[in-house]
Amino acid sequence: MSPVKMSLEANKEYHFCTCGKSATTVLCDGSHKGSGLAPKTFFVPESKEYYLCACKKSANAPFCDGSHAK
């Protein structure tokens, strides 16, 4: 699954989906409830576009590290 390109704002709190059930794939929408999993809170240092991991294999989550292509 290819990464999702998103425009993120510096110092804003985001919640990366770790359960894979979110309708947006990469950001938590609350679908994890009851799964025992929780989202990963993260911030970005500058406002720009980022590639977020959608395959859940990145070692650098929430950011894509190319693992989806391996």
Residues forming contacts to ligand FES in the complex (CB under 6 A) are 17-19, 21-22, 28-32, 37, 39
Closest approach of Cβ 31 to ligand FES, in Å? 4
Closest approach of Cβ 16 to ligand FES, in Å? 8
Residue number with CB closer to ligand FES (30 or 48): 30
Q: How far apart are the first and last CA of the chain?
A: 11
Closest approach of Cβ 22 to ligand FES, in Å? 4
Residue number with CB closer to ligand FES (38 or 48): 38
CA distance 35 to 49: 30
CA distance 50 to 62: 10
- Beta-strand pair 40-42/14-16: antiparallel
